[in-house]
Amino acid sequence: MKYYKKIVGEKIYLSPVNPDDYEIYTKWLNDISLTKNLGAHRLLISEISEKEKLVEMSKSNTNDYAIVTKENDRLIGNCSLMNIDYINRTAEFGIFIGDEENRNRGLGTEAAKLLLEFGFRVLNLHNIMLRVFSFNEAAVKSYTKAGLKEFGRRTGSQILNGKYYDEIYMEALSDTFKSDYLLPVLPE
């Protein structure tokens, strides 16, 4: 597959999505161990619908990125800035690492830092938030390492396997966020 180094970190880079990756996305988005964390475990994703979605994402001028390893140019996940409001300088952030073998290795944390830094330094955003379910403790830890802080909860908003879980709201602000991946390529 072809990838382009739009935003480069130490171990990974963010590239525009490639519609030819529809098969791996379809595999990932039908894996309950992954999609339960996204609140999408009830959905059935077909190759046709995923290919159409990736084609649409690649045509539009959105901030949807493939997460790719620098070592071997291997697709490992996806991250996005959504609902961007350039007047109020806000956005929402979403991310997933596809295969289990690539989770809990710091790659998601690095991807989050890269995209947050891009949002703050290049898109001039001030507040970027995300939502995460309380049972996804590894993600909460990763987001905290990336510089996000909890600012609220929606209690018992997700039911899974007969148990209620909170939806945690986390945010990063431009004036307190720390990351220097982009400094070498931006003017001082």
**Catalytic residue list:** 143
| DSSP calls for 72-113 | T--EEEEEEEEEEETTTTEEEEEEEE-SGGGTTSSHHHHHHH
Amino acid at 63: N
Q: How far is it, in rounded angstroms, from Cα 80 to Cα 102?
A: 18
- Residue for token digits 């046709």? 48
